[in-house]
Amino acid sequence: MEDAVLSMTKKTRQVCSNIKSMLIIFFDIRGIVHKEFIPPGQTVNGNFYCKVLRQLRGNVRRKQPEMWENRDWLLHHDNAPAHTSLVVREFLTKNNMTTVPYPAYSPNLSPCDFYLFPKMKLRLNGRCFVSIEEIQAELQQVLNMLMPADFNECFQKWQNRWDRCIQAQGDYFEGDGGN
């Protein structure tokens, strides 16, 4: 009997680091209204999210006074537990903040998930970072490169996705249909 020698080639994935940074960002068709990097180890719960919403309100008042005065703005966030917690719902009601309804199980309707974060990931893909500050600085550069046309495109895609959601009567669908 002959001994058989098997040669196996293994592809390994190089992991540069396990450093992560979480970003909460609010934007409209004109650009970024508020962004906040979450401190390491911070849990995003209802109380923390209320603090973020207070800062968002201040930025809307400061950056878009006409929208603030006319109450001509809507908040769109997904169904994350922090967003739907009682303390957040009470805060939104107390402050007369109108939200866009978000259908359950509809990840296709989050502009951050289908548009903004993929754009950011393209820029960061394959890069190694040694600190949270380095990641955040690079993310800030990516955000600074976004033009009004990018936000306009995002909201056009968002509208197309809402149209598809309505056509699907709330059923799950993937992608934006090539739009």
pLDDT tens track for 135-170: 999 999 999 999 999 999 999 998 988 888 888 776
Q: Is residue 141 part of a domain?
A: yes
pLDDT tens for 17-51 read 677 889 999 999 889 999 999 998 999 999 999 99
Whichever domain contains 37, its CATH number is 3.30.420.10
Is residue 15 in a domain?
no
Cβ contacts of 90-95, under 8 Å, gap ≥ 24: 91/50, 91/53, 92/53, 95/53, 95/57
Query: Do the Cβ atoms of 60 and 73 come closer than 8 Å?
Result: yes
Structural domain that includes position 131: 22-167
Q: Nearest-CA neighbor of 159 among 111, 113, 116?
A: 111
Mean pLDDT, residues 63-92 taken together: 90
122 in a domain, yes or no?
Answer: yes
* Residue 13 domain flag: no
Among 99, 94, 91, 21, smallest CA distance to 51 is for 91
Stretch 127-134: mean pLDDT: 89
The residue ranges of DSSP E strands in 22-141, in sequence order, are 22-28, 31-38
The answer as to whether 1 is a domain residue is: no
Q: Does residue 126 lie in a domain region? A: yes
81 is a domain residue: yes
Quote the distance between the C-alpha of residue 55 and its chain's center.
17
Q: Is 148 contained in some domain? A: yes
- Number of folded domains that form the chain: 1
